[in-house]
Structure 1
């Protein structure tokens, strides 16, 4: 089964946090790839929305993956202690 794809906005800042959270909620219930090819800025609130989605997807037994991370995004994730691979990982405890 092919995952849905959500193309992320170039600027993931305060203004984009609520629309991002709504788009994530609308896509819940299936595997989802977050296409981050054009992302140039990542703020804390959009990161929080992505991490919350990672927890929800893990609890639902679905896959949430960040794909095509731009160099700018990879650099900003590293400053926040994540990589493109780890930002969407969540361990569901029994």
Structure 2
């Protein structure tokens, strides 16, 4: 009898996460809901507060669903912007890229 295989989705964030990207990002997150998720923010050059809000809501949704969510990679621009606006995702980053 085989156990249920856990799946993990991956989400590659765009270089520019502005107001226009916020609803697109929300849609992408909702498509991946229900499985563990690794977010790759390594290509992010600019991130607006609206997309940060969408990401934080996604994190809360994954946590409420009991599913793992992590940031597999994060660019300096992404990490510094989150730090500047007071959002701490250190607990969601791999140890090797934590500041």
User: What's the TM-score once normalised by structure 2's chain length?
Assistant: 0.81
Q: Work out whether residues 40 and 73 of structure 2, in 8 Å CA contact, stay in contact via their aligned partners in 1.
A: yes
Mapping of 1:13-52 within 5 angstroms?
13-52=18-57
Q: How far apart in 2 are the matches of 1:25 and 1:62? A: 13
Mapping of 1:1-94 within 5 angstroms?
1=6, 3-86=8-91
More strand by share: 2
Q: Whose Rg is larger?
A: 2
Q: Runs of 4 or more off by more than 6 Å in structure 1?
A: none
More helix by share: 2
Seen in structure 2, the aligned counterparts of structure 1 residues 68 and 23 have a Cα distance that, compared at 3 Å, is same
Deviation track 1:73-92 (CA, whole Å, cap 9, x = no partner) reads 1111110112442579xxxx
Where structure 1 has 5 or more consecutive residues not aligned to the other structure, the ranges are: 89-94
How many residues get paired? 88
User: What's the TM-score once normalised by structure 1's chain length?
Assistant: 0.85
